[in-house]
Chains A and B, each alone.
Chain A
């Protein structure tokens, strides 16, 4: 069965510092990988995706993620964090041919402080 793991429940970063939110995946085929962000009492907003091609994917709001097949990881990164980046971040995976059924990680709460 496909799955994604987000090993950190919470990540704290000072504003202006780089941030990383970790994600590892486990699938038997070729994965489609996604990052979504959720603000309090809101739905999810799409940040970026990896389907194929370049391993480094750039997304919304200055975020990027690197697909690493050997480490089965897809960590989310941003060079300089903002307080407004504070939110809940979800990594998700779809198997090719999986009919768009997203499997989500448990989420990582990002807190950016002044």
Chain B
């Protein structure tokens, strides 16, 4: 089955530093990956769509200079939280789509998430 690996699962950093989160599709190629943010006891908010070989598409209200997304290959997308502040503390989740057709069509596979705590 489709597996998405996300690393690190937990990260604590000081205010002002940058943090990189990796999202890898382990057994399939993903031309598109999605990055979500989830606050405690709240739903997932789509931050951006990561497109392999091109610029990410950000949702309204998401600062592209704050949340840098790079989709360097068909199996890797990275989210870098630049100059992190305590309000950036959250649970970040990535997802990828396995296939365009068949029973897996339109089903997104999610990573296990990365919990960021900014002190």
Interface residues of A (CB under 8 A from B): 32, 34, 36, 41-46, 49, 51, 90, 94, 99-107
Q: Is the CB of B110 within 8 A of A44?
A: yes
Given A43-B93, A105-B43, CB of A51 within 8 Å of CB of B106: yes
Interface residues of B (CB under 8 A from A): 4, 6, 9, 32, 34, 41-44, 46, 49, 91, 93, 95, 97, 105-113, 115
CB-nearest residue of chain A to B113: A43
Count of A-B residue pairs with CB < 8 Å? 56
Q: Is the CB of B42 within 8 A of A100?
A: no
Determine which of B44, B95, B97 lies in contact with A90 in the assembled complex, contact meaning CB atoms within 8 Å. Answer: B44
Complex Cα distance, B97 from A43, in Å, reads: 15
Q: Is the CB of A49 within 8 A of B106?
A: yes
